[in-house]
Amino acid sequence: MSARAVVTAGTGGIGLETAMGLAARGFTVTVVGRNAERGAIAVDRIAEVATGGPTRFVAADLASLDAVRGLAAHLAAEGPLKVLVNNVGAMFAERQRTVDGIEASFAVNHLSPYLLTELLLDRLRAGGPSRIVNVSSGAIKVAKRTFDAVEPPGGYYGFHWYGRAKLANLAYTLDLAERLRDTGVTVFAADPGGAATDMTNGTMTSPKIVSPGLRLMWPLVRRAFERSTAGPAFLAARSSIVAATDPALDGRTGLLIGPEALPVPAFRGSTDPRIVADVLRLSRRSAPLHGHADAQPG
Ligand SMILES: NC(=O)c1ccc[n+]([C@@H]2O[C@H](COP(=O)([O-])OP(=O)(O)OC[C@H]3O[C@@H](n4cnc5c(N)ncnc54)[C@H](OP(=O)(O)O)[C@@H]3O)[C@@H](O)[C@H]2O)c1
């Protein structure tokens, strides 16, 4: 059987294109999503280009930490893993909490990929040399860089809170790369740039997603959003595919692969030791590897 790869949120948007890219390169791909019907359609599309083993769909709502734990157990039981692409991400126009009582942007964009990665590390070590790819975002540039609690002080602005969760995940990713140095598991972040997907089509149209300062310039901001998210998902998937497979990255780790599918400097704050320490503390507290989250919304 060919090497196994898992792509979360791999049944639509950038994740589906990433899964197709990996399958075309000979990986046996498992895609994760919530909706079984969408999963079946995605499996058929991926199978058309696959050159490795049979494509599979596994259902899990990655907004639930228990569902992440269940998914990890399921995937771990299937044996060694060569590639894990944590592609799941979401922006919420209105403040929402998950079933665990955790603010949804932080849960979906950071805690869920953090938890899945930690729970699959043994399987990734067993599959080594192997790679972890965490999907990032340029929204990090507007993130509030404070991680004392899941929710930052001040009002809820979906785009900024999304960026802050992505900053947490990038800080975790770059730290993990160091932690796993010389273990055979290398770790990358991938910034897709932008693409027209369900996420961007559904959430980038309301001035409510940005802070009051940016709202004053909403027509300009909206045009910038429209321009940056106009491209096709297959182009946005290049950074993840390169991060997961490019032989030129063999032996390298801890890199952010940019929208042009080349290494770029990491976003500000992501290597700040204070931010890294706060993110790690918050992640361990909010998403324990076994058992239940503290469900401390604050
Ligand atoms: N699009 C952009 O311009 C852009 C820019 C920068 C970064 N990104 C990042 O790129 C990644 C992919 O974004 P995208 O635009 O392709 O998103 P998308 O279109 O919303 O992704 C759709 C996929 O996400 C799955 N999904 C959504 N919520 C889920 C959940 N709670 N549990 C399991 N699966 C879930 C969907 O499955 P179901 O249909 O079953 O729900 C589907 O497979 C994200 O990490 C995003 O933050 C995107």
162: annotated active-site residue: yes
Q: What is the pLDDT of residue 292?
A: 59
Q: Which atom of ligand 1 is nearest to the CA of 228?
A: 3
Q: What is the pLDDT of residue 1?
A: 64
Q: How far apart are CA 42 and CA 28, in angstroms?
A: 14
Q: Which residues approach ligand 1 with their CB closer than 6 A? A: 9-15, 33-35, 38, 61-63, 87-90, 108, 135, 137, 192, 194-195, 197-200, 229, 233
Answer yes or no: is 98 within a domain.
yes
Answer yes or no: is 298 within a domain.
no
Mean pLDDT of 51-71: 98
Q: What is the pLDDT of residue 204?
A: 85
Mean pLDDT of 77-106: 98
**pTM of the predicted model, to two decimals?**
0.97
CB atoms within 10 A of CB 30: 24
Tens of pLDDT, residue by residue over 40-55, are 999 999 999 999 999 9
Answer yes or no: is 296 within a domain.
no
Mean pLDDT of 80-88: 98
Tens of pLDDT, residue by residue over 221-250, are 999 999 999 999 999 999 999 999 999 999
In this structure, the residue with its CA closest to atom 5 of ligand 1 is 194
Instruction: For residue 122, give both structure tokens.
Output: 């043994």
Supply the range of the domain harboring residue 235: 4-286
The Cα-based distances of 107 to 127, 166, 207, 225, 279 in angstroms read 27, 11, 23, 24, 13
Answer yes or no: is 295 within a domain.
no
Average pLDDT, the chain: 96
Answer yes or no: is 293 within a domain.
no
Answer yes or no: is 291 within a domain.
no
Mean pLDDT of 105-129: 98
Answer yes or no: is 41 within a domain.
yes
Q: How far apart are CA 103 and CA 63, in angstroms?
A: 10
**Starting from the edge strand earliest in sequence, which strands make up the sheet with 56-59, in order?**
56-59, 28-33, 4-8, 83-86, 130-135, 185-190, 255-257, 263-264
Distance 13 CA to ligand 1 centre (A): 6
Answer yes or no: is 294 within a domain.
no
Q: Catalytic: which of 114, 157, 162, 172?
A: 162
Asked if the model's pLDDT at residue 294 lies above 70, the reply is: no
Tens of pLDDT, residue by residue over 15-42, are 999 999 999 999 999 999 999 999 999 9
Q: Which atom of ligand 1 is nearest to the CA of 14?
A: 16
Number of folded domains that form the chain? 1
Q: Which atom of ligand 1 is nearest to the CA of 63?
A: 31
